[in-house]
Structure 1
Amino acid sequence: MNADATEQRSNGEIETIAIPELQRLRDSIDNIDAALVHMLAERFKCTQAVGALKARYKLPPADPAREAQQIKRLRTLAENARLDPEFAEKFLNFIIGEVIRHHRAIAER
């Protein structure tokens, strides 16, 4: 078999196997992304309510003890799910930062 025949077979495999598999995986990723957006929206609805409650009772927007507890909890969840705990912590820290920013804005109103 010459190089051209091998290349043609490889191109045929790409067309019949790799491309549909790639699309199937991308469709799953798109579905997961949609679910993540909806879950984040629901989470932020809850944290907005927490922010309003904190503002009403003049509680501070940040709760470092709760944040540390959540980070520890999330790292354990990540490890159990075989997700990089450093990534999970960075992700949660980003969310916590946004929540605190929202809580401060609510308190200023």
Structure 2
Amino acid sequence: MTELSTPGQASQSDTPVLAELKLLRASIDNLDAALVHLLAERFKCTQKVGELKAAHDLPPADPAREAEQIKRLRRLAEEAQLEPQFAEKFLNFIVEEVVRHHKLIAAAVAKGA
């Protein structure tokens, strides 16, 4: 007979499940930390791109490059068995934020000129 437990209270038979859940969550926490650090590094690079674009009066957005990146990321997602639509939404969110930063950098450079 399976022991019943109330919400928030584990039975003896749940102990291996809870231990596995704890390990999986620890892995998720580590991956989340890695993602944050990778995004920080990515934004450091895109910040420099924004500064270079602003210094040379280049547009903050590059639709052709963005389209190439989306195509590339969708292919990578498929290879990694990740839903391509999710990967595209994720990249679009990042690109939108990068372009916003590039516009702010360009405005600051124009104001200082």
Whether TM exceeds 0.5 here: the answer is: yes
Report the TM-score when normalising by structure 2.
Answer: 0.88
d(CA) in 1 for partners of 2:2, 2:37: 46
Q: Could you tell me how far 1:7 is from its partner in structure 2? A: 1.9
Q: In structure 1, which of residues 1, 7, 13 is the aligned counterpart of residue 3 of structure 2?
A: 7
Structure 2 unaligned blocks of 5 or more: 5-9, 109-113
Q: Could you tell me how far 1:11 is from its partner in structure 2? A: 2.4
Give the root-mean-square deviation of aligned CA atoms: 1.2
Aligned pair count?
103
**Which secondary structure state, in structure 2, belongs to the residue aligned with residue 104 of structure 1?**
helix
Aligned runs of 1:1-109 on 2, under 5 Å? Answer: 5-7=1-3, 11-15=11-15, 17-109=16-108
Q: Percent identity?
A: 66
Tell me which amino acid in the other structure corresponds to 1:11: S
Q: Could you tell me how far 1:6 is from its partner in structure 2? A: 2.2
More helix by share: 1
d(CA) in 1 for partners of 2:81, 2:102: 32
Tell me which amino acid in the other structure corresponds to 2:48: A
Q: Is the 8 A contact 2:60 2:99 kept in 1?
A: yes
